[in-house]
Structure 1
Amino acid sequence: MLTGILTQPQIDVVAVEQGIDSRDGLFLQIAELAANADLVITTGGISVGEEDHIKPALSALGGDIQFSGVAIKPGKPVSFGRIRSAWWLGLPGNPLSAFVTWQLFGTAIVARLTGETERVTRRHVVTGAAISRKPGRCELRPARCVGFDGQGREVVIFDAETHSGHVRGLPEADGLIFLPADCDFLPEGALVEFQPFCPN
């Protein structure tokens, strides 16, 4: 999925590799990638389990982890930093989490590195159905634009619930809606932020 997203004229993908499942092997692998790329992207291995070797490998390389963990759902473990002369973006391993965090952080990083001037901008839309959810983190859901209501406001629809490993709704989605962290219910017609996948 990520390789397809990165197939763009302004991006030169220098390597796509399966991570070596040992701390020492991963150290050497990341060191080589960082020496040959402006941006190293990893998926998975950034939590705090015994088999999550990415961050220890970065530390051993003298890497600077600038942030690790963001209060969003899905995608909380997302991390960002520097490995010598290269930037590093650590995406979560679950498919939807990886996709969402790429849209939020990866696209902005690539735009900065490539000097893109055409940027995706968020806009306000209204929900096509009511939403009940557990508050605590800002939640992002794939959503599809379906037209306008009687007041001329753009309407989006979305799955009633999401799971970080499920991507079935992505092919039909036009972007992501942002559900506020402190909100447990939004009625139909509620105003929310929407970030399209493509520039406006």
Structure 2
Amino acid sequence: MPDGAHACGCDMQDGLLAPDIALRILLEDAAPVAREAEVPAEAARGRVLSRAVVAPGDLPPFDQSAMDGYGFAAADCAQAAAPRLGRRIAAGDAPGAEVPAGQAVRLLTGAAIPDGIAAVLMEEHAALRAGAVFARRPPRPGQNIRRRAEDVAAGAAVLQPGLRLGARHVALLAALGMGRVHVRDRVRVALLSNGSELDAGRGLRDSNRPMLAALLAGQPAEVEDVGLLPDDPDRIAAALARAAAGADLILSTGGVSGSDADHLPAALAAAGGEVEVLKLAQKPGKPLAHGRLGGARCLFLPGNPVAALVGMLTLGVPLLHRLAGMPPQPPRLLPSVLAEGFARQPGRVEYLPVRIVGETEEGLPMVERTGPAGSARLLPLAAADGLLRIPAMLGTVAAGGRFGMLPLEGLA
């Protein structure tokens, strides 16, 4: 991966690489981890399927009543008759013998529909008099009956590989009687920070590593904390080599901006890895390095915390998802309207911390900036509901303009 090998004039703006091209570069040779496991379905939330789930049976497994009511035969539906009330069938009861015309059955929600019943009249539309069921509204054939296999037919592939399982998927697996599923192992992430200046005794503390560890806790990853490394090329190279022995992804912040105290790219090369330094048309988060060491992918993010977070959300999370076996997607942006306009220097895509202050007539969130822009300012970031994405070539950002917002709730 020689520096600049992927860049062409159409991808560059003032010598900077467009963020979408950088994402394509990061993903182009990334492959999902090959390891997989078989886990109990009820414990599979957050795991990524490695094999398709095929339904072993129908769902529902039999015709059943969709509500509490009365089952009518087809002839009684057509004649608007008042059939005599026969037996009662609750959920879990056997349906029993076929029901003849002229007789109705009491059915509770989820009860099996016996042969001969063509419709279920909801109880609010029925009146009982002298042992007969009178319909206030005539039942229609098929009404209020859940048909066998109307949701899922046996043999259907209901969940596909690459899907990250949520509670709704666990519900489907349970309903189908799927006790175990095949999933990919979580991505093994070696997480480190770099910078001799990050010394609590000097009043500077490492906020990036805790921030990224918290973000990764909600991802299909297991994290090894490599720690804070000083600006020592040999120690960095040795730490990278040790991390690569067991990691799928080495993730770091700091040490990539290009000063004489920034050693991560050179240390990766010294450890025997491949490295490429990228300069992105993105603010914050212009400097970036990526590469490979043994079987581990490497992603080195900027050292300032807002820049590190923006780089992780826009580039690191899609890379992690590719390694986890998920379809990598750029961040989903929520359409939002800016309450107050401002001027900016065009040329780079910019992400600004914003809070939601209201709602437009269209139901879109109205947002405002949480404070002065700055890649090291944590208070505006902590007060933000999202990161507003400003297109690269826009200089005047008008009040009332519609922009995409990257929501932070559930992510960071």
TM-score by length of 2: 0.45
Q: Measure how far apart 1:141 and its partner are.
A: 0.7
Partner of 2:317: 107
Q: What SS is found at the alignment partner of 1:101? A: helix
Partner of 2:252: 42
Contact 1:118/1:199 (CA < 8 Å) preserved in 2?
A: no
1:93 counterpart = 2:303: yes
Q: Measure how far apart 1:198 and its partner are.
A: 4.8
Runs of 4+ in 1 over 3 A off after TM superposition: 115-120
Between the two proteins, the alignment pairs up a number of residues equal to 200
> Residue 236 of structure 2 is aligned with which of 26, 46, 56?
26
Partner of 2:16: none
Letter aligned with residue 386 of structure 2:
G
Root-mean-square deviation (CA), in Å?
Answer: 2.3
Q: 1:124 to 1:34 in 2, by over 3 A?
A: same
For residues 69 and 130 of structure 1, the distance between their equivalents in structure 2, rounded to whole angstroms, comes to: 28
For residues 118 and 48 of structure 1, the distance between their equivalents in structure 2, rounded to whole angstroms, comes to: 29
Contact 1:140/1:177 (CA < 8 Å) preserved in 2?
A: yes
The unaligned stretches of length 5 or more in structure 2 are: 1-210
Q: What SS is found at the alignment partner of 1:16? A: strand
The superposition leaves residues 158-185 of structure 1 with CA deviations (integer Å, 9 ceiling, x where unpaired) of 1353111101122232221111222221
1:131 counterpart = 2:342: yes
Contact 2:231/2:262 (CA < 8 Å) preserved in 1?
A: no
For residues 240 and 253 of structure 2, the distance between their equivalents in structure 1, rounded to whole angstroms, comes to: 13
Letter aligned with residue 347 of structure 2:
G
Deviates more, 1:55-64 or 1:45-54: 55-64
Contact 2:322/2:328 (CA < 8 Å) preserved in 1?
A: no
The unaligned stretches of length 5 or more in structure 1 are: none
Letter aligned with residue 196 of structure 1:
P
1:170 counterpart = 2:381: yes
For residues 93 and 9 of structure 1, the distance between their equivalents in structure 2, rounded to whole angstroms, comes to: 22
Q: 1:21 to 1:74 in 2, by over 3 A?
A: same
Contact 1:103/1:197 (CA < 8 Å) preserved in 2?
A: no
The superposition leaves residues 82-122 of structure 1 with CA deviations (integer Å, 9 ceiling, x where unpaired) of 22211111111111111111111121122222234796522
For residues 342 and 292 of structure 2, the distance between their equivalents in structure 1, rounded to whole angstroms, comes to: 38
Letter aligned with residue 301 of structure 2:
L
1:192 counterpart = 2:403: yes
For residues 116 and 169 of structure 1, the distance between their equivalents in structure 2, rounded to whole angstroms, comes to: 32
> Residue 364 of structure 2 is aligned with which of 148, 153, 166?
153
> Residue 83 of structure 1 is aligned with which of 288, 293, 302?
293
Q: What SS is found at the alignment partner of 2:240? A: helix
Deviates more, 1:97-106 or 1:143-152: 143-152
Q: 1:112 to 1:188 in 2, by over 3 A?
A: same
Partner of 2:217: 7
Q: What SS is found at the alignment partner of 2:222? A: coil
Q: Measure how far apart 1:132 and its partner are.
A: 1.4
Identity %: 34
The superposition leaves residues 56-78 of structure 1 with CA deviations (integer Å, 9 ceiling, x where unpaired) of 11122332334522111111012
1:69 counterpart = 2:269: no
Contact 1:66/1:82 (CA < 8 Å) preserved in 2?
A: no
Q: Measure how far apart 1:40 and its partner are.
A: 0.6
Q: What SS is found at the alignment partner of 2:227? A: coil
